[in-house]
Structure 1
Amino acid sequence: MKKLFKNRIILVTLFISALAALYHLSSANSPPVETNHLTIIESVDHFNDILANSQDKLIVVDLYADWCAPCRILTPLLNEIASEMQDQALFLKIDTEKHPEIMMALQADVLPMVYFVKNQQVVHALAGLHSREVYVDAIEKYSAESTEPAAHGTIRDGIRKVDANKQGDFIDIVVHRGDSIRVSFGERDYKRSLSLPALDRHFEADPGEELLLSMTIRDKSDLDLKLVEHVDGKSKVTNGNISVYDYKGQGGIQYQDISVQQALEIVNQPRTVVLDVRTNREFSHGHIENSVHIPLNELERRIEELSEYREKDLLVYCRSGNRSAVASRILLQNGFSSIFHLESGIRGWLNEGNNLAKD
């Protein structure tokens, strides 16, 4: 029995080796795949520069590897689509063997993986190999013109993190209402202070410390700011502005701020899933009936728990509408395309005489 088992192992090993040899032989004899309509990314800086200068144009990012058979099928398909849709999107091709750090940054765990990026934010993703129509439909959907300015930075664990370390003579920061922001001005070997006169807020950093601006943007009103750097006995003043916008969605995405009355009209519809993003303690004190509960600071890492609801209408709420606004953007960035945001939150729900459920 042992000898028979050993012989089987040898046969399987030989079979796999033969398949590998055939693969390499076929690859060597295959004609080169045309990529003339795809931009080959040469470095991380090259990738970041394209994203930073893309403005409102859709970027289609194809992550691939030479050993990945579906990737070799997808490349000519995307090249053909790019030749026909180059006015609607820019197509990038990234070798994950050469640039694994980009794959890690995008949190990709399968190949091929295609990300759709707009205003430096992922708005959609397709894992694996799909039909031509799927890619074309996604490009048409997410390349639709948007007048909304791009918010700066990225959202991680419910916080929008912005690097203002390289700002010039005027500091310009764009965020959305409801954002909890953490703006870094880097470290310096001299003392600095930052002030927001309209809010009477002040932030300071001693030599060698990082200057951070941390706050929640609760109102849709621009904020003037002033950075003072104390260098060699002199004070250098740099003025700036935090521009605040309501999030309106992009492309074919449906995103809507709704009132309590509008929420009552859809809350019991079969297509509606209610999502509470408050803390565990807040949720235990009472919630809208049949709510799914995931706290905002856990939403990104638990997003797959909501995967079955991607084709549903999500009604998202928190206490006052700020955290749920951030949660809505996280959902949109992860492929959910129909979001209804309860603008006044659970406070508005209660103020209009509605009841809460308790588990």
Structure 2
Amino acid sequence: MPALSPHPLIRPVTYTRWLHLFIGAVVWGVWEFIDDEGLFAPFVLVGLVGLIPATRLAEGLQARLLLTGDGHRESASEIAAAPSASWADRGRTALWMEVRLALGLLTAYLTAALAGLSFALARAAGGTGPVAMGALPWSVPGGHWWYALLAPLPALALLAAAAGLGTLITAIARRLLGPSGAERLAALEERTELLLERNRIARELHDSIGHALTVAVVQAGAARAARNEEFTVRALTAIEETGRAALEDLERVLLVLRESGGPVPARPTLADTARLLESARASGATVDAEVSGPLSLVPGPVSREGYRIVQESLTNVLRHAGPVPTRVRITIAGGRLELEVANPLPGGRTGRGGGGLRGIRERAALLGGRATAGPEGGEWRVRVTLPLDIAKSA
């Protein structure tokens, strides 16, 4: 059941909006002190100030603080806090300054008039002579006790007016100080980039931690079945090395998530593939690896994603087929990086799938390449082709 919204008169934001409206009338008060004849000069002045790019930043920050309140962060995002980037932004800011001044004057007048009326009615209830009604151009005769019953009514009307004007100026602020189309598009692109980065991090954690856990499970099972002290020592060493590499990957990911200012460990590349092969061999698998072409020609992003693809492919082999003979081919030729990982199909099974293969396809697609996986000639083969010129493929 949704929580009931508190009454406007007991919400703190009602009174911060009231303050915001009062601040808008300060310009008029200052101008009255300088020249009490130029009634429209303050409107011209604030309109010109609104054309200054920095004015939008100052007004946006003030509106976020006083008009939305701490409990309205979603509303705060609807009010931009950035300098004007175009003449359209400047025009909206200038109009906002005019409207703010007008509503500020109205708020100041109502506050003086209604507060003065409440005070005058209270005085008239106990007095004998006529009492002026504050800012209102009339007076009431004194000596009527029932004026005391009427005294609270103007004060209540003032509170209602302040709440209504506060709601009105907040709606106008969202309209005139709200983000432009270009700013909304930039915010959407930033959010999209953030989601893509989180998705990439999730894939890396899946590949790295999944590989480490798979190797640890296979090694522990093989050591228990072998009942050989030398093999057990090798298995524990492989588990230790794989776990240490996974911890390094985890530390790097956490540094990125925390936006730490410290140095972020480098991501592994195809040059580090040897440790993957040794890890698989230590699990009992026979790995036949072949690299054709210089790895130095592979750009960093392609090399890093290629490493993760090989890692996930070997993890799938150990997870689904166990320590079986595996063939790994890495070829750099014709402006492409070609990866192939093949192993015998276990027990006559014809296929396997899951998040790992989906991650491989996603990595390949992001770099403009393609990936296929499936049974072929009694083997399960993963083939991935990635273009080396990622600028043209993007």
TM-score tier (shorter) = under 0.3
Q: Larger Rg: 1 or 2?
A: 2
TM-score by length of 2: 0.19
Question: Which has the bigger relative contact order, CA under 8 A and spacing at least 6?
Answer: 1
Q: Larger % of strand: which?
A: 1
Tell me which protein shows more helix as a share of its residues. Answer: 2
